[in-house]
Amino acid sequence: MVRTIGVFDSGVGGLSVLQHIREALPEANLIYVADSGHVPYGGRSAVFIEARAMALTRFLLSQGAEAIVIACNTATAAAALPLRKQFSKIPFIGMEPAIKPAVAATKSNVVGVLATVGTLESARFAALLDKYGGKVKIVTQGCPGLVELVERGDLHSAEARRLVERYTAPLLEKGADTFILGCTHYPFLAPLIREVVGEEISLIDTGAAVARELKRRVDTELPPRVKLGVVGSETFHTSGAAERATLTMGQLWGKDVVVEVLPQAYS
């Protein structure tokens, strides 16, 4: 029997994490849900985000998911604890800004964080700052509009460059040599960010670390599965418009995909 893993995000950004999960678990069937009908989560209340996370989790479980990745920093901050309490037998793997590796990487002792306002204002982020930020200066920058760019598949336009320049400039001015990409949408903008800030700036995201943690927990907490030597499948769902999602998700995933609309009970 093939392992089944569920992954959800506020939109298409979690595909950056799904790519790492596919590499870590090549034989698993992956179910991805983009909550694009409600994107972005950054300006939403914690109560709203928790309700959406509960609904998306119930859908993934109905499709046979044995473990779930919350591929969204904002949703992790708002809903990881309630989800683990409500579905206590299911392994949940969340996201968090990579402050620890960024602190280890910086040479200027200044780390910049690009993230949604929701992530920056969360208690989870504050706790990470308390735990790891004492050794260096952490400079944060909320980035309204970047998630929406990625949702449109707009990764290289003049508007995208203008926003990236606006949000990275304060971090550069304060001497940051290491930037944390604190939202799963942002790795898709990494080539543009690299063009703007230059080669000497380190860009750090947590997708690979999340995939490693998922594999560790799957291997230790779930019943063993026979190794089949085959590549697992991917299925894609959205709470938004299927046509728009099909175009954008295919662009970001790197090949054509079929995207199904979530049943109304979960939308």
Report residue 143: phi and psi, to 5°.
-130, 65
Q: Report whether the peptide linkage leading into residue 82 is cis, meaning its omega lies within 30 degrees of zero.
A: no
Catalytic option among 115, 164, 181, 183: 183
The token pair that represents 141 in the structure block: 């920058």
Q: How many helices (H) and strands (E) does the chain have?
A: 11, 10
Report residue 7: phi and psi, to 5°.
-140, 135
Asked about 183 being catalytic, the answer comes back as: yes
**Rounded CA separation 76/267 (Å):** 19
Catalytic option among 28, 67, 72, 171: 72
Sign of CA dihedral 252, 189, 126, 132: positive
Residues labelled as active-site residues? 72, 183
